[in-house]
Structure 1
Amino acid sequence: MQPNGCIIQCMDDDAVFKALADPHRRQLLDRLFDRNGQTLGELCHGLEISRQAVAKHLALLEAANLLSCQWQGREKLHYLNPVPINQIAERWIGKFDQHRLRALSALKQALEGDPHG
């Protein structure tokens, strides 16, 4: 049986992976990375999908905690939240990188004939 914290973390990871699975959502995140704090209209500019579709994508990104919103007067500004992506990178990608680096180091030592391993 898994502790509740693990179940919640897995659900959070699932929401992030689901959000990142769509190329339009990744494009929206890239746009916010380039210039944070954009309105819906600014984010729609130049996209080949409807304003309503962009709004739905933004809602899913917000539900996955990949962006946050702040109202300034009548404008809703969208801000990138890179924390969930960094957590996934540390949890999943980082642990596989360590294994790969150890394997490459071992291969290098074997090819060079390093007796100290």
Structure 2
Amino acid sequence: MTEADEDRADAVFHALADRTRRDILRRVLAGEHSVTALAENYNMSFAAVQKHVAVLEKAGLLTKRRSGRQQLASGDVVAVRSVQAMLGDLAQIWRGRISRIDDLLALDPNPPDPPTPHTEPEHS
């Protein structure tokens, strides 16, 4: 990955690390919502919801447009699919690592016995 790709991954995972932002993203992926309408769903200030939307927008997961006085937010399906692809790549790396560990374990015909727990003698 390039430095720009790494920076984008950091922004995406930071944005998705918060449950409110994940919920906002689910809502705007289902359809366009005004930021005002989004804010009505949360027990926080309008400004706090605006900040969550801004983090998602900076990460490229949603886009905003103006319609009169309203800011309308829409989820970016292509961006979400790129996150899915990123996670798929990571999963593939881990599957490969686990497979290599399994192969190494299969090579040892006499694996060591697991350690026995040390028990303290009971005192009367």
RMSD: 2.5
Is the CA contact 1:16–1:85 (under 8 Å) kept in the aligned structure 2?
A: no
1:74 aligns with 2:69: yes
Q: Deviations over 1:62-98 (max 9, x none)?
A: 1111111111122111010122331132133256259
Distance 1:9 1:69 in 2: 23
Amino acid at match of 2:15: A
Instruction: Give the share of equivalent positions with the same residue, in percent.
Output: 30
Equivalences, count: 99
**Among candidates 25, 45, 51, match of residue 56 of structure 1:** 51
TM-score by length of 1: 0.72
> Mapping of 1:1-117 within 5 angstroms?
6-34=2-30, 36-94=31-89, 96=91, 100=95
| C-alpha separation in 1, matches of 2:87 and 2:71 | 33
What amino acid does structure 2 have at the position aligned with 1:91?
Answer: M
Determine which structure has the larger helix proportion and give its number. 1
Structure 2 stretches lacking a partner, 5+ long: 100-124
TM-score by length of 2: 0.68
Partners of 1:31 and 1:92 lie apart in 2 by 21
In the alignment, is the contact (CA less than 8 A) between 2:29 and 2:76 conserved in 1? no
Alignment deviations for residues 36-77 of structure 1 (CA, whole Å, 9 cap, x no partner): 221111101231121111000011111111111111122111
Give 1:110's aligned residue.
none
> Residue 14 of structure 1 aligns to which amino acid in structure 2?
D
Structure 1: tracts of 5 or more residues without a match: 104-117
